A and B are shown apart, each in its own frame.
Chain A
Amino acid sequence: MNSLTDNSLMLKVKAGDLDKMGLLFERYHKPLFGFLYHSTGQRATSEDLVQTVFYRMLKYRHTFTESGEFRTWMYHLARNVLIDNAKKNNRIVYNENFTELSDKNLSESSFEKDFEKNEANEILQKSLTKLSLEHREVLVLSRFQELSYKEIAEILHTTEGNIKVKVHRAMKELKSIYMAFSC
């Protein structure tokens, strides 16, 4: 129901009622920010990129079709924005806001349980940013954005089966990076 309403709002934007983009912003700026934040690991950059995605939605509104889902189209544009940003910066920069952990000897640490939990979270976040772009995007879309494999396949113009394989490989890569940071 919600996605239908999203579509109808976007169709109104396409027809020239640009103010309706404000409503779509209210609905999607947080999930979009989440997608960009977990992909880049950078808060300020992610906020800039959210603006760019909404700007592109306005600029390329004619490319939105009734047959497609708004959410899929939006993530497709967001993905392109991410790729352009990565090309501009040559790489996705590691988030300076995350705590640098590489120089800490974790095996010798004897922290409280909560602290260990936070530490493990930070290692996991850092591991995520070290994943290849191809693997990171499927994990972020499926785990953080909670999109179905079918939706992700539409965004990436591939098959559901291929996404399953990519998620599986991404988890393997994540595990090996995580283990390397933890030792």
Chain B
Amino acid sequence: MEKEEQELWDALGKIKTPTPSKEMKTRFHAMLDTYKNEQEAKNESGLLNGATSRVFDQIKAFFTPKPAFNWAYSLALAMVFGVVGYFVGKPAGGVPQSQQVANQDKVEKLSSEVQEMKQMMMLSMLENPEATERMKAVGYTQELQTVDNQVVEALLTTLNLDPDDNVRLVTLEALLELAKNPKVREGLVLSLSKQDSPMVQVALADAMVKMQEKRSIKQFKQMLNDSNLNKSVKTKIKKTIIALS
């Protein structure tokens, strides 16, 4: 190695590495817990899933066109849909009322189970280390028929603590859809003091005007006292205060 290169090599050894934040450890343990829960859930439903997937595979195989038997496939499908159509189109009077009620109960039970699964999936995806996955998780809230306190809290935590600006913005949009919920409105107002990204601060200011949330004026005034506040955010907040007054 030449002298200059040797000096550079020595200098490289003196470059310091910053210490990672403490949140990294918290996030790791959250990820580990989520992963463990997912694995446990998988193991518990392993047998059931095995049986279910076999049935699905058979159904899938049946509905997959096979080039060699195109005509037979078409005929079989026509027959299947014909039979299904006949039974579906049959007047309800043909089925005993007790059976109808039982069927309806089953559908409702299934629907609520699907909701629970969606919610569980959404909550576990919010812990995913990939920002894109967390954004998807937030998007799932729109598919939930009912949003309980657990989901609201998870969304508010994401809004306040997620390291990615885009995830926080998507979460804010999702929470705005739930603005009728007083807990959501309160959480959004309190979130103002926890944001440091100008993009999110501006989006929250717009949200406050949209909700006509006058409680936010106090928070905005506190934010204006912060000397580090971005200039354009400052202007936006001043306009927002006027709009809300």
Chain A residues packing against B (C-beta within 8 Å): 18-19, 21-22, 25, 29-30, 33-34, 37-38, 43-44, 46-48, 50-52, 54-55, 58, 120-121, 124-125, 128, 139, 143-144, 168, 171-172, 174-175, 178
Contact = CB atoms under 8 A, between A and B. Distances in A.
Contacts of A143: 9, 12-13
B11 interface: yes
A51 B5 contact: no
Interface in B83-105: none
Interface in B22-54: 23-25, 27-29, 31-32, 35-36, 39
Contacts of B19: 30
Contacts of A174: 5, 8
A76 to B, nearest CB: 19
5 contacts: A19-B32, A30-B20, A50-B24, A171-B8, A175-B4
B20 A48 contact: no
B36 A18 contact: yes
A144 B20 contact: no
B8 A51 contact: no
A52 to B, nearest CB: 5
A54 B36 contact: no
Contact of B31 (A29, A55, A125, A128): A55
B195 to A, nearest CB: 16
Contacts of B145: none
B15 A121 contact: yes
Assign chain B's interface to a size class: 20 to 34
A32 to B, nearest CB: 9
Nearest to B1: A171
B230 to A, nearest CB: 16
Nearest to A37: B17
Contacts of A37: 17-18
Nearest to A46: B20
Contacts of A178: 8
A174 B18 CA distance: 22
B130 interface: yes
Contacts of B227: none
B21 A139 contact: no
A52 B129 contact: yes
Contact of A51 (B1, B12, B15, B27): B27
Contacts of B9: 143, 171
A21 B38 CA distance: 16
B23 to A, nearest CB: 8
A47 B20 contact: yes
A47 B1 CA distance: 34
Contacts of B32: 18-19, 21-22, 25, 54, 58
